[in-house]
Amino acid sequence: MGKAKVAIVRIENGDFFSAVQKAIELAGGLPEKIEKDILIKPNILTFKKTEEETSPIITNPEVVKSIIKIVKEKDYNKKIYVADSSGSGLDTSKVIEKTGFTKLEEEGVTVCQISLNGSTEIEPKNPLKLKRTTFSNLSLNSAIINVPKMKTHTLTRVTLAIKNLFGTIPGMEKSRIHAVGNTAKGFSKCLVDIYSVLKDNIVMNVMDASIAMEGHGPSHGSPVKMDLILASKDAVALDAVATSIMSEKPSRVFTTRIASENNLGVGNLNDIEIVGEKIENIRRKFKMPEKFISFLPIGIFFELAKKQPKYKGSGCIACLRCQKICPVQAIVVDKKEKRPYFDYKKCISCFSCNEICPEGVITITRRKYGKHILFGGLLSSLIIALIVILSILLT
Ligand code: SF4
Ligand code: SF4
């Protein structure tokens, strides 16, 4: 696979249009001709009480407005849609309205749920994990401009261009995919399968890193002012560069690594041409979600250190969103007590409940174990370590 190009541009004095225009141009520009309708796919995951609280969660509508202007200047004479599917269990129309995206209709585009034109079941070719899933027809039949946000993510470490395409899957099918994926790696394989189906439809990826998110992303982290726009035709390369800006190794992000290993894009920074700002000048240490032990080699540690959701103890408004989104029905919300109960035997630690809770009252903690299990686990680990050391010494 040849060199990929990624553009990094600063937003100067709040001028989003100039930054988006420059980034797209530096990344190679939009095609001269587009024969299909155009889908602009931002991240419209959810909304919070105030616009300020929401801004690190969703793509800034100003970025999308700038893209609309640039697309219209190209005179493709095609319909332009701005669409997403918000978190499972949420009413996307309501999220679109509450986040200010509806206003973009004044630009002569259709702002809608991703399922507006129906959906089709697809079997990805050579799937890594996802043998079939339902895609929105809008994503299957359009030229896509993918407009992700720069954020950390409790399950997948970061959510960038590849992960943003999860929103092309309508409604509750997203929850089923979480159940199919089952682990961070398995779920990332599903995301790469989705990307493999849509890859050829993508004409540009434009990442909004004006206000990014660190910590407990994608919805309960802290805002980070970066004032950047990134763009690339290659979503994998864009994710690798964005991850590096966040001071994380691209190879530690399953989606980037798996997509790159399967020749779906360029994940190695040495094979990426960076135009515009230099990474060294803008890199910032992002607080990552607590490290997932799945990166350690010994399986026993994985089990011991597994995380699980936990109710903070107060603040639940019994909205039932967590109960609806849980892919394995591991949550029951007691409406009278106004609190969720978790069935940890069923829970697959996908953290969708943490992501969707509007009040931020579902936290993530280390799984609690009885002393005998901990002791057994540690003893087994010591024995394994001893065997490894002895075998090295004796060879
Ligand atoms: S309880 Fe929460 S973390 Fe566990 S499977 Fe359900 S949604 Fe996922
Ligand atoms: S825990 Fe959060 S998502 Fe679940 S019912 Fe309560 S407020 Fe709603």
According to the model, what pLDDT value does residue 372 have? Answer: 61
Determine which residue's CA is closest to atom 4 belonging to ligand 1.
Answer: 347
What is the CB < 6 Å shell around ligand 1? 309, 325-328, 330-331, 342, 347-353
Highest mean pLDDT among 88-92, 228-232, 296-300: 228-232
309 C-alpha to ligand 1 centroid (Å)? 7
Enumerate domains of the chain plus CATH numbers. 4-282 (3.40.50.11440), 293-384 (3.30.70.20)
90 lines ligand 2 (CB under 6 A): no
Angle between helices 184-198 and 254-261 (to 10 degrees): 50
pLDDT score for 333: 98
pLDDT tens-place string over residues 134-143: 999 999 999 9
- Residue 295's pLDDT is 42
Range 156-182 average pLDDT: 96
Q: Best of 47, 86, 311, 316 to mutate for ligand 2, by most ligand atoms within 8 A of CB?
A: 316
CB of 321 within 6 A of ligand 2: the answer is yes
Q: Which atom of ligand 2 is nearest to the CA of 331?
A: 4
Q: Are 336 and 159 in contact (CB under 8 A)?
A: no
pLDDT, tens only, 58-117? 999 999 999 999 999 999 999 999 999 998 778 999 999 999 999 999 999 999 999 999
Strands 202-214 and 149-153: parallel
In terms of Cβ atoms closer than 10 Å to its own Cβ (0-12, 13-18, 19+), residue 302 is: middle
CA atoms of 134 and 156, how far apart (whole Å): 22
Which tokens is 370 given? 């009885």
The dihedrals phi and psi of 226, each to the nearest 5 degrees, come to -115, -30
Q: What pLDDT digit, counting tens, does each position of 325-342 carry?
A: 999 999 999 999 999 999
Report strand pairing: 331-334 vs 339-342: antiparallel
Q: Give pLDDT, residue 230.
A: 99
Residue 342 alpha carbon to ligand 1 centre in Å: 8
- In this prediction, residue 373 carries a pLDDT of 59
CA 43 to centroid of ligand 2, rounded, Å = 22
**So what's the pLDDT on residue 2?**
65
Number of Cβ within a 10 Å radius of residue 278 = 10
Query: pLDDT at residue 173 above 90?
Result: yes
Q: Give the pLDDT confidence score for residue 159 in this predicted structure.
A: 98
Q: pLDDT grade, residue 383 (50/70/90)?
A: confident
293: pLDDT strictly greater than 50:
no
Instruction: Please report which confidence band the pLDDT of residue 36 belongs to, taking 50, 70 and 90 as the band edges.
Output: very high
| Ligand 2 binding pocket includes 362 (Cβ within 6 Å) | yes
- Which residues, 6+ apart, have CB-to-CB distance to 191 below 8 Å? 156, 162, 163, 165, 166, 255
pLDDT at residue number 297: 44
Residue 316 has pLDDT above 70, yes or no: yes
**357 CB under 6 A from ligand 2?**
yes
Share the mean pLDDT of the chain: 93
Question: Closest ligand 1 atom, CA of 342?
Answer: 1
Tell me if 88 sits within 8 A of 175, measured CB to CB.
yes
Determine the average pLDDT of the residues in 278-295.
81
Percent of the chain's residues with pLDDT above 90? 85
In the predicted model, is pLDDT for residue 190 greater than 70?
A: yes
Q: pLDDT tens for residues 350-369? A: 999 999 999 999 999 877 65
Residues 156-184 as b/e (b if ≥16 CB within 10 A, e otherwise) read bbbbbbbbbbbbbbbbebbbbbbebbbbb
Measured distance CA(228)–CA(356) in Å, rounded? 27
Ligand 1 pocket mutation, candidates 316, 351, 363, 367, criterion most atoms within 8 A of CB: 351
Q: Whose C-alpha lies nearest to ligand 2, atom 6?
A: 316
Nearest-10 Cα torsion for 246, 252, 254, 259: 80
C-beta of residue 200 within 8 angstroms of C-beta of residue 211: no
Ramachandran angles phi, psi of 43, nearest 5°: -100, 110
167 against 383, higher pLDDT: 167
Ligand 1 center to 387 CA (angstroms): 37
Model confidence at 296, pLDDT cuts 50, 70, 90, reads: very low
